[in-house]
Structures are given as C-alpha cells and as structure tokens.
Structure 1
Amino acid sequence: MPSLALTHARFRILETIRIPIAVVGGAFFPAASMLFFVVPFAGDDATAATFATASMVMFAVMTSSLFTYGVGVSEDRSQPWDPYTRTLPAGPGASFAGRILSGLTFTTLSLLPVVLIGAFFTAATASWTGLLVAVGAVILGALPFTFMGLAIGYALPMKAALAVAQIIFFPLAFGGGLLSAPNQAPSFVETIAPYLPTRGAVELIWAAVGDFRVSATSMVSLVAWTVVMAAIAAWAFRRDEGARFH
C-alpha cells in the first residue's frame, strides 16, 4: 500500500508540474502579499515581520488546501481515470493517500517563497525550536482546510467547486485576522475571529514563533471545525461513491 500510494502521488505531482503556471499560481498571491505589504510596511520591525510572515504562511496553506483539494478533486471526478482507479481491487485508499501526499507537496511549495522572503527581506526571526514547533502548528492548522477542500471537491462539480473556493477563502482569511497584526484587527474582526478556523490555525503559528498566548476559544473552535469538516468530507466521499459506483 505505501508504494502504491507513492506511485499515485508521483503521478499527480508530475501531472501538475507539466503545467508550470498551476504551481506558480498557488505560490504567487501569498508571496506577492509579502512583497507588497509586509516587506515595505513591517519589514524592519522584527516582531511585526515575524507575525506577518506567520500569517502569510497560514494564508498560503489555506489557499493551497482549498484549491488543490477542492478544485483538484472535483476536476478529477469529471475525468475517466479517477473513477477507474476507485474500482480497482486495491480500493480507493492508495489513491486517496497519494492525493494527500501530492497536496502536501504543493502546499509546501506554496509557502516556501513566503518563508524565504521573510528570512531574507524582513527582520523576522525565530529560533530553530520555534521553527520546528511551527511546522507542527502548520500541519495541525491545515487539517480543517484540507477536509474543507475535500468536502467541496467530492460534493460539487468543478465550476461550482471553483466558485465556492474563491468565495470562501478571502472571508476566512480576513475574518480570521490573517491580514492584521495580532489583536490589531478591526473590532468586528476581533469579535468573530475566534470562531473561525483561520484564527485558531494562525494563533498556533504565532505562538510557535513569537510571544503570543493562544485563546482557548480559538483552540476549541479549531478542533470543532476540524471534526465537522472531516465528517462532511467523509459524507461527501461516501455520497459520491454511492452515486457513481453502486
């Protein structure tokens, strides 16, 4: 099973990188945000630059998860290859694992420019321990958006999936406080932010790389969003399986 999952992951990665703009596009907006907003306005302030870089990392992870899984899964469902692999004796597990591995690969590629810009063009700083903890925080923070993307992809046709992903990613980013410094967002954002998954996710990264105390409300909300999105993704997958293969 592991080797088969790696084969599926390799296939999906090669399929994507044959269209370079698909890879560049996922990294462009977070990197551009760093260059146009973080570097000139907060680049010389170590604390502000560190928190802003962490926010843009979460922005990149959220965007990549929603579009890689949401639009990618929906597009694959419309092609003959994906339905065929789900009828093979090996079952859908290896293909699904390969999809997750390829998604993690492109998520990593989307956030690397943000980290490099923060390291070389701003005063952002973090200890090696903080960076290691931040990696774990990114993985945990990515879970609700991964499940959200899978739910969108398995529940909707491609055009609808693309529209839904485009509609929800910016409100989640702005409402969760990704576009503001910690505790400096407009009052209505600070009111709703703890109840959105973006806030809990970015608070984990802020706490890993800087002096920030996470909110209990944000953590409970992050767990709740993760569980609910996982349940919806599982339901959407079973619904698609039943509708097309039974």
Structure 2
Amino acid sequence: MALVLAHAKYQLLEQIRIPMAVIGSTFFPAAAMLFFVVPFAGDHPVGATLATASMTTFAAMSTSLFTFGIGVAEDRAQPWDPYLRTLPAGPFPRFAGRIIAGLAMIGVSVVPVLIIAAVFTEAAVTPLRLLLGLAALAAGSVPFTLLGLTIGYALPSKAAIAVTQLVFFPMAVGGGLLSSPVDPPAFIQAIAPYLPSRGAVELVWTAVAPEVSPAPVTMVMLAVWTAAAGAAAVWAYRRDEGVRFS
C-alpha cells in the first residue's frame, strides 16, 4: 500500500506542476454548464439535476481518457518509465497509484460543475444521493480509464493525443451528454444505448434522481464495453512490454 500511495503522490505532483492540465480538466465541463445547462435547464429542478449529472460524467470521461491516454503515452517516452519496469514491485503499484490519481483528478474536475449547479440552477439533491452520485460516477469512469490505458500503452504520444480526441468527442455527443436529458434528438436516442457514455450517465442519473431508472440495454452495453476495454488494456500493456523489453 505504501508503494501504491507513493506512485499516486508522484502522479498527482506531476499533474499539479502543470497547471494547464488541471485547468483544462475543469474548464470545459464548467463552460458547458454555463453555456448549455444554466440558460436552458437552470430553472427546471429535475432537468437541471439530470443535466448536472451529465456534465459530471462529461468531466469524468474527459479526465479519464486524457489523463490515462495521453499521460501514459507521454510517460512511456521518458527514460524513467523503463527503469520503473525493471523494479521487482511489479506493475500493480503503478497501475493502482495511477488510478487513484485519476480519481482524484476526476474529483477536482467535477467541483466547478457542482458549484455552478448549486449557485445558478434549481438542481437539488440530498447529501445521500450526492454521495451515491459520486460513487456511480467513479464506477462509470472505469471503461474510460481502461480505454485511456489502452490508447496510452498502444500508441506514441502524438498519436495518442489525436486518437483520444477522436474517441472522446463522439462518445460524449453520441451518449447524449451534451443534449437534453429529457428530450434528446432522435439520432442520439438511436445510438446512445450502445455507447459506454450513456451507461455511465444513466448510472449517475439513477443515483441522484429517484424518478429515473437505467435501461437494461445500456447497463449490458456498459458491462460489455468495460470487459472489452479491460481486455484491450491488458493486451496493450503486454504488447508494449514485449516490444520494448523482450
């Protein structure tokens, strides 16, 4: 556990020492709240609550994909990374520390969204449901963490930046995170159930709003995406280890 915490501390210090990385993870979800949620759903309690949940999921997706996808790829380009792999501790402390650091960054990224929702909208949630929502957010971020690890271990840093963006924006839009939770466009309704972003946001909606329940197909697809992303992450890690250390 000491090694896990040491790696988590190291990863967090790396993030904090680059202020733009922290600002970037908080700015876009907060800007989306101000431009899309506050003017259009801010005065509707249920709509504002669900839209806030969508923006927290947007923040978690962004942080997970960019932190792990680009961060891992950049780490692999540094001489420190191959040295760490020669140590006898194995990969678990690094993986666990990186995930803890990623969860901490997700927590940072959702704080502005929650503040904007509390100050400028009629969103309402009990303390218990807020905690349930944060737990659901952490659970829903798992497939995006695994996708980020896959990208980071499979691609060099320049390619990882482009691929992460290509994965993130279609999933955010297609999952309905940037459209009305109550009445999304027809094409969003058609494709959203099959994307992990929809399953993740429905978990959070269910946690914060008692009148909402997840669709079975979205939960099945969320599990499928998580299993597939996990298998891909393991493959990418082993491939990278075989290419660079065999």
Both proteins in one fold, TM over 0.5: yes
Query: CA deviation digits over 1:182-214, x for unaligned, max 9?
Result: 341111110111000011110111111112121
TM-score by length of 2: 0.97
Corresponding position of 1:220 = 220
Corresponding position of 1:139 = 138
TM-score by length of 1: 0.97
For residues 15 and 224 of structure 1, the distance between their equivalents in structure 2, rounded to whole angstroms, comes to: 33
Aligned residues: 245
What is the RMSD of the two structures over their aligned residues, measured on CA atoms?
1.0
Corresponding position of 2:176 = 177
> What SS does the corresponding residue of 1:15 show, helix, strand or coil?
helix
Shift of 1:24: 0.6
For residues 12 and 221 of structure 1, the distance between their equivalents in structure 2, rounded to whole angstroms, comes to: 31
Please list every run of 5 or more consecutive structure 2 residues that lacks an aligned counterpart in the other structure. Answer: none
For residues 132 and 96 of structure 1, the distance between their equivalents in structure 2, rounded to whole angstroms, comes to: 25
For residues 132 and 104 of structure 1, the distance between their equivalents in structure 2, rounded to whole angstroms, comes to: 15
Counterparts of 1:9-88 in structure 2, within 5 Å, are: 9-88=8-87
Shift of 1:137: 1.0
Amino acid at match of 2:189: E
Corresponding position of 2:234 = 234
For residues 187 and 119 of structure 2, the distance between their equivalents in structure 1, rounded to whole angstroms, comes to: 34
Give the % identical residues: 58
Q: Is the 8 A contact 1:147 1:226 kept in 2?
A: yes
Runs of 4+ in structure 1 deviating by more than 4 angstroms, as ranges, are: none
Amino acid at match of 1:42: A
> What SS does the corresponding residue of 1:206 show, helix, strand or coil?
helix
For residues 212 and 181 of structure 1, the distance between their equivalents in structure 2, rounded to whole angstroms, comes to: 14
Q: Is the 8 A contact 1:206 1:212 kept in 2?
A: yes
Corresponding position of 1:245 = 245
Please list every run of 5 or more consecutive structure 1 residues that lacks an aligned counterpart in the other structure. Answer: none
Query: CA deviation digits over 1:74-123, x for unaligned, max 9?
Result: 00000000111011111222122111111111111111111111112211
For residues 31 and 104 of structure 2, the distance between their equivalents in structure 1, rounded to whole angstroms, comes to: 20
Amino acid at match of 2:147: M
Query: CA deviation digits over 1:29-69, x for unaligned, max 9?
Result: 00011112211221111111101100000000000000000
> What SS does the corresponding residue of 1:182 show, helix, strand or coil?
coil
Counterparts of 1:63-212 in structure 2, within 5 Å, are: 63-210=62-209, 211-212=211-212
For residues 32 and 178 of structure 2, the distance between their equivalents in structure 1, rounded to whole angstroms, comes to: 10
Query: CA deviation digits over 1:104-155, x for unaligned, max 9?
Result: 1111111111111111221101112211221221111101100000000000
